[in-house]
Amino acid sequence: MRDMVKDKNSLTLEEVKHVAKLAKLNLSGEELLKFQKQLSGIIDYINKLKEVNTDEVEPTSQVTNLENVFREDEVKPSLTQKEVLSNTNSSYNGCFKVKAIFQE
Amino acid sequence: MELYQLSLKELIEGLKDKKFTRKEILVSFYTRIQKINPIVNAFLTVIGGNNWNDKEGELSGIPVGFKDIYVTKDIRTTAGSKVLENYIPQYNSTVVQKLVSKGATIVGKTNQDAWAHGSSGENSDFAPTKNPWNIDYVPGGSSSGSAVAVAAGMCPVAFGTDTGGSIRLPASFCNVVGLKPTYGRVSRYGIIAMASSHDSIGHFTRTVYDNALILNMTAGKDPCDATTSNTNVPDYTKNIKNGVKGLKIGLPKEYLAKGIDPNVEKIFKQVLQKYEGLGAKIIDISLPHTEYALAVYYIIQPSEVSSNLARYDGIRFGNDRNRFGQEAIRRIMLGTYTLSAGYYDAYYLKAMKVRTLLIQDFKKAYEKVDVIITPVSPTLPFKFGEKTDNPLAMYLSDILTVTMNLAGVPALSIPGGFVRGLPVGFQIVGPNFSEDLLYQVGYAYEQVTDWHKQKPKL
* B196-224 residue pLDDT tens: 999 999 999 999 999 999 999 999 999 99
pLDDT of residue A8: 52
Give domain status of residue A9, yes or no: yes
Q: How far is CA B133 from CA B101, B174, B453, in A?
A: 34, 7, 14
> Domain containing A24: what range?
1-53
- The CA distance from A104 to the nearest CA of chain B, in Å, is 23
Please report whether residue A8 resides in a domain.
yes
Q: Is A36 on the interface with B (CB under 8 A)?
A: no
User: Is position A37 within any domain?
Assistant: yes
Asked whether residue A15 is assigned to any structural domain, the reply reads yes
Neighboring chain B residues of A66 at a CB cutoff of 8 Å: 184, 226-227, 229
CATH of the domain at A44: 1.10.20
Residue A71 has pLDDT above 90, yes or no: no
Nearest to A42 by CA among B386, B402, B330, B163: B330
**Residue B340 Cα to chain centre, angstroms:** 31
Q: What is the number of CB-based contacts under 8 A between chain A and chain B?
A: 144
Residue A7 has what pLDDT? 42
pLDDT at B143: 98
Q: What is the mean pLDDT of residues A30-40?
A: 95
- Sort A34 into a burial class: Cβ within 10 Å, 0-12 / 13-18 / 19+: middle
What is the mean pLDDT of the segment spanning A66-70? 91
Number of domains in chain A: 1
Say yes or no to pLDDT of A2 above 50: no
* Residue A5 pLDDT: 38
Chain B residues within an 8 Å CB radius of A84: 90
Cβ neighbours around B25 below 10 Å, total = 22
Whole-Å CA distances, A36 to A81, B35, B79, B178 = 44, 44, 27, 36
Residues with pLDDT less than 50, chain B = none
Structure confidence by residue, pLDDT tens digits, A90-101: 999 999 999 888
Report CA dihedral (B31, B32, B36, B41) to the nearest 10 degrees: -90
ipTM of the complex: 0.90
> What pLDDT does A1 receive?
36
- What is the model's pLDDT at position B175? 98
Chain mean position to CA A83: 28
Contacts (Cβ under 8 Å, ≥6 apart) of A9: A40, A43, A44, A47
Q: Which residues in chain B touch residue A98, judged by CB atoms under 8 angstroms apart? A: 315
Q: Kindly determine whether residue A52 and residue B354, on different chains, have CB atoms separated by under 8 Å.
A: yes
**Chain A residue nearest residue B340, CA to CA:** A19
Give A4's pLDDT tier (boundaries 50, 70, 90).
very low
Whether A30 is in a domain gets the answer yes
The average confidence (pLDDT) of chain A is 89
Asked if the Cβ–Cβ distance from A35 to B333 is below 8 Å, we say yes
- Which of B295, B310, B317 has its CB closest to that of A49? B295
Is residue A45 situated within a structural domain?
yes
Active-site positions of B read 67, 142, 166
Which CATH number is B3-453's, of 3.90.1300.10, 3.40.50.300, 3.40.1050.10, 3.40.1180.10?
A: 3.90.1300.10
When CB atoms are compared, the residue of A19, A42, A51 closest to B336 is A19
Tell me whether residue A80 is in a domain: no
Across the interface, whether the CB atoms of B298 and A46 are under 8 A apart is answered: yes
pLDDT in tens, A41-64: 999 999 999 999 999 999 999 999
Domain assignment present for residue A71? The answer is no
Q: Chain B within 8 Å of A79 (Cβ-Cβ)? A: yes
What are B384-393's contacts with CB under 8 Å, separation 24+?
A: B384/B120, B384/B122, B384/B128, B384/B136, B384/B137, B384/B138, B385/B122, B387/B119, B387/B120, B388/B120, B388/B122, B391/A38, B391/A41, B391/A42, B391/B327, B391/B330, B392/A2, B392/A41, B392/A42, B392/A45
How close does chain B come to A31, measured CA to CA in Å? 9
